[in-house]
Amino acid sequence: MTTARRGAGGGGAGGGGAVVLNRGSSVSSSETWSDLQRVINSTKSLRRPRVAVCVTGMPSRLRPSSLLRHLVDANKHYTFHIFYVLQETAEVYFTTKAPGEKLPQSSSRMGRMPQDKLRDELMKAGGRQAVKVTVLQPTKSRNASQWAAWLGLSDSSLDRITQFTNIQDRVLAEFSHHPRCAASIESQERHDGQRFDYVVRSREDLFFFQPLRIEAVWDRYAH
């Protein structure tokens, strides 16, 4: 999982301060209105930080419940918008197995869902009304030869990923999700008229062993 902070003046969650109006005091209407204006202006600066979460990968390995419980629920004073960019495939594949070896289709019920039902399931966010969810159209699958042709390699031999030569097509598919997700996040920022304070990138099968608090990660690794 990767976490990045967007900009320096994003307006974090502020603490304390409130203006209390004493109804029994003898103040003029203009003074009361001035106090009310200060309350309104102060609450604008106390908005909750916005977090965009980009989830990419294969439907067959989706584990959204762990992310929702241990990231979203662990940071109640943040607002979350989750963006899913997934491969158009029902294939089950884990790199701990030999290349091409298939696992039982029972590995993930989401991997067996039709695209429209999968989208509806992800949009529910486990019943969390405050969480916004965007599910992009699935990314078309390409094999190694198709990737080579798309990259304009004359001999149709894929040579872009040297570390994992036998799964280059899968690695390129994963990388291709990132710019799509980034474009969707930026489009949402333009629509909302404000930027996200943090962007989190996650694999689809990320599992949290315990709640992860954004402040703790930022304080430990970003300074």
* DSSP helix/strand/coil, 28: coil
For the chain, the distance separating the N- and C-terminal CA atoms, rounded to the nearest angstrom, is 18
Please report where in the chains the tokens 């930022």 appear, as a residue: 218
Blockwise average pLDDT, block size 10, the chain, 223 residues: 58 37 45 64 68 88 88 93 83 52 53 76 85 87 79 74 77 83 94 93 88 87 69
Cβ-count burial of 92 within 10 angstroms (0-12 exposed, 13-18 middle, 19+ buried)?
Answer: buried
This prediction's pTM: 0.70
Per-residue pLDDT, 77: 92
Of 102, 22, 6, nearest to 58 (Cα)?
102
Q: What is the dihedral of CA 151, 1, 57, 182, to 10 degrees?
A: -60
